[in-house]
Each structure stands twice: as structure tokens, then as C-alpha cells.
Structure 1
């Protein structure tokens, strides 16, 4: 046994550990590998400082594209969070960002901007939030925003039944808008009640109109008579499809001062009538491409609530008129029916992102979209209430 010398010197743990390691090595007859030494890293070389850079301006992060507009949005958000005690009792109209704007007006305008993707990316859930805020503050048009959110599905799936409650409230202040929203709800609730369109007759390349439900036509006519611009534009499209170009042009022109779409349709119809055969109006009717564009709108929910039954009906009209894209789409739709033989909703949702143009089969965002050079509608029934100063400030593509 090896004895360790004891001394009266101060106890040192490091010496003991070193001695024990030596004893263990000697006892086991093992050779311990040598441990590598740890060396300090060399100090970095000192680079000379360029003194001219000491007085240079600090780099600045890029700000918003439109600082003035961003300031207005910040003002709107701050105002919308107020208590709304000074809500004005007046007829609803387009509001402007002013120092005396009420919280209810600010919340309503924020909802419109978020819904249409103006001055901010389109954000339907945020739009519903601001419409709910405007409703809580007593804005007279807030129920219209909430009704459209139910019809178009801002947060959850579209629910036309739930929209009827809000439409009833809209009727108190804007009966024309209420009727037009009711037309949208009725079209979504009972698309199968509409008569089936027969194969359109050919008349110098024109299309016979698809028959409309009397109930829907009555609602649309009442909304138009009540002065709603979007309803007048829609009724003009109904007259156009029926071949009554004088009535169609009258509807477009009566709404042109309050609807950009109606103004564009009036101009297009006038030009088509003037350029038609012998100055006639035959060429003004819907073409096969027009019907296909309409079908895509209802398929994708572009400016209207998605309605797959209506989309299929319009695809059939376009296909029977000779549109090849509509024929291909119908072949795809009916290639995967639901177990009960009806249209498969999930499959329709997937097909909504497919482009049937020359690139075929690609998501719509990766191929050139069909240019909407035909008849137009405003983005939503609420677009009329967006102030003109904001309509030209879109920073994101609408849904």
C-alpha cells in the first residue's frame, strides 16, 4: 500500500486530485493519454477606422409606400377605438378622414378598406371585426357589412340564413341595398329553384338568355327602383342577356355616376351597338367567353358569394355556345361526382384554382388570368360607400 505524505501545509484540493490520479495509474498499470493544451485565441488584427464614415447618416429602414395614407389609417384605428358618444344622426354616406370623424364612421370605413383590400391587404376577418365594432357604436350601415360577411363568408362558411337578420336591419335606412342583399341571399339559398337553361339558340353568334327566377327578378327590380346602383347594374345585365339593349343601357347609365362597373358597361354597350352589323345591337349580346367569365366568377366567389350550382349552369351555357374552356371544366367537374351523384363540393373548390386556358391545369396565380374585358360588376354591394380617395389606393389584389 502506498502511503501519502501528510504535511502541515494548507490543504489543497488540486494537489490531492493530482496525487490520486497518479496512484490510480500506478495501481492499474494503465497509461493515460496526454491531454491537449487549450490556447487562447489570438487577438483580431486592428483595422483602421475610416473617420469619414463617423459622420455619415445612419441607414434607415424603408417605410410605407404611402406615408400619408398610413397616417390616415393610424388615425382611423385610434378614432375607431373611441367610445362613439358623438355618433351623428344623418343619412349614411361616404365618410372622409377628418378630425371630427366619429368612432362609428372610422370603424365602418376600416371595415370597407379591409374587405376590399384598399390601402391594406384584403382581410375579410378584420373587415368583420370592424363591422362588428361599427354595429356596437350604432353605425346605420354596419348591418350591411355584417350581412355581406355572412353571405360571402368573412370568417366562417357563407350562411345566407344568418344574413337575413342583418338585412332586416339594413331595410330601416337603405331599402334598396337591403333588397339587393336579399337578392344575393335568395340566389344562394335556392339556386335549384331557378328554371333550367335550355341549350341557347344561335342568332348571328349571339346567345339566348338564361331564364331567371321570377322571385329573383322581382327582388332585383325592387332594389333597382329603390335606387341601388349595383342592383341597377345587375338588372342591366339581365336585360342585356335578354336582348333588350335599350333597357340595359338605361339601367347602366342611371347607375354610372355611383358605380364604376355600370359606367364601364354603359360605355362598352354603346361601343358594341355602334360597331355592330349595320349599326345593329346583335353583337352586344353575351359571347361564349362572357358566359365562361361569369361561370368563373360564381365558381371562385369573385365579387359574389361562391355558388357552384350557378357556376355549373353558366359553364353549360358557355360550353353549348362553343367555349372550349367551359367544356374542359365540365368534363373535370363530372369526372369526380359525389357518392350521391351530385357535384362534389371539395372537388369544385380544388377546380376553382385551375386555369383552363392554353397553360391548362396550373393554379390560376401561375398562369395568365382571363382578362375581364366583358361586362363588369363592382367588387361588392358595399363598394359604393368606399370614398373615392381610397378606391385608387389598393395595395393588394382583391379576393
Structure 2
């Protein structure tokens, strides 16, 4: 054994950073690009959380060190300092763990080992690096503290740390370290459902102006919209009054991080709920938007991309069945229910005329949806 008064400072192997740091830089840059493309970047900030432990690991490799002095071992880690006196150390031995071997201090009572800060990290270094650490520790350790050779970790009964991963070796450790940050980002931020994600179909970002549609025939309404709601709002609505009350309403469904699926998926789910068969009230309408359904005379609901369009006519007997009790399931727009229940003025035109007008308006309305 060597002179126990000699001070020795050991640091983690930094060769691991040559690949690790460039990889994290590229991954962080990609995540930053995703933040720039997102409509609401704040939703993605939480997606960067899986990258924080990786960068903390890099800082730890740069700052951690183990100092061997005459009185014991001082372990200085990024957020923790620990002192272990020589009298509490039974032996110094290598320990197999995920990513490679480490240097462990076994307590005087034979309890579980304390892993030196100098050999912490996902990739503590190869056998040559650990052998050099053990040789240098052997030169300064007191006579009563044996230092095992690096081959001791491979013997039967050799100490292992990291549980089942201890046998996985460096390949498994590298795979986990490289895959966990990007997979964590995808799991938390879920950008793969966003409309701008490569390969995903485009979606509408804004609603057309429903009051700019060609007015219903003069025998149905007076020709000019009685009231409307701005196209910037969700939903956007326009109402024509007369012998028939004609309402056109757009609803926009965006992709949101905290909800599963794209805007198209959400619009599809609402469409299916809205037009769920109830006593044969709804009939599918082919060749109209992405999917469409209507009642016998008065109401047609069409989905175009992530937008739902509902065209409703309310008039005399036989027209207007089920308009009120078939509100959208998301509950939006309930405060404007009076628009749907306004009383028509004048004699009602034939139901076939009303149906033809409703279908014509629905086709024009869905044609005006612009996807980007």
C-alpha cells in the first residue's frame, strides 16, 4: 500500500461525451424546431422534460469527482457531497453495472456499496479506465483497506449494481440512453398527431365566413342574413330569416396536445356522435365532403377535414324535426339556441324545395373549407 497522506482526485471518463453531447445537441435542436412549428409552443415545453436528465448527466460527468485524502474519501457530485472515512470502508472493489464497471466502496459492515462519483454515469469507461482508477486508489489507500483488481467483478459472486441491467453491458446502456429522450419527448408532447407532422393530412386553421355563402332562394328567406357570428369564432354561424329559418354553422376542431388524435379525428368523433342513428332520423349522404348525413328534409351535417358544417332549415310542419334535441355533443353554442328555435314567418314552401336548398348550401359550405 502507498502513502495514505497523498491526495488523489479521480474524475469520470469523459470519452463518453464525444458522442453523447453532439447527440443531445441535435435532439434538442429538433425539439426546438418542433416548438417553433407548433401553433401553441407552450404545450411542447413539457415535452422537453425527458431531455433534462440527459443534460444533467452531462453536467455531472463534467463536475463529479472523488477526492482521496488521509482521512477518507470525499465524493463531490452535482447535487450531493458525501464524505466516507477510511474507518468505514472495508474494501474497494469493482462492480459490474449497466454500461460498464464501476468502483465501489464496501462498508465496514459489508453493506451495499457506495459507487464513487468518479465512476458514475451511464458510461463509466472501459476496463482500462477502471483498472487505472483501482491502481491509483491502491497507491493511496491505507494498509487495512484492500483494493481488488478489476477482474474481481467477473468472478462468481462478484459485486453487481443496477439490478437486471447489470448483465446488459454497454450495448443495452447505449440503446436505453439514446432512445429514452426522443421517445419520452414523443410520449409527452405527442407531436406525431399534429397536422404539420410529416405524412399527416393537412387541416384547416380558420373557418370560412358563413354569411358569405350564396343566400337561400327568396321563397325560403328574405335573401339577407338576419344575424351571424364572426368567422374567427368557434363556431361561426349565419342565420337567414323568412318563411324558413336557415342556419349555417361551422365548427373547427384543432389538434391539442392534451387530447388524443388529430383535429380530423376529433371532428370525426363528434360527427359520429352528432349523427348517431335515432329511430332512422339520419341517413348517410355519399359524395358530400369527407362524410355527411342528413335528416329527411331539414338538416345536413358534413365533415370536411377537421371542420363540421351543419345546415338547418326550420319551417312549418314536416320540416325542422329533431333540430333542437340533436345539439352538438360538445355543448358549444348552447347560448345561441334561440337561433335554431326562431319562429318562421309566412307559409312554408314544399319540403322538397327546402331539402334541395339545404343540400346546395351544404355543398357550397364544405367546398369553402381551406386546408393548409
Tell me the TM-score normalised to structure 1 length: 0.19
Flag the structure with higher helix content: 1
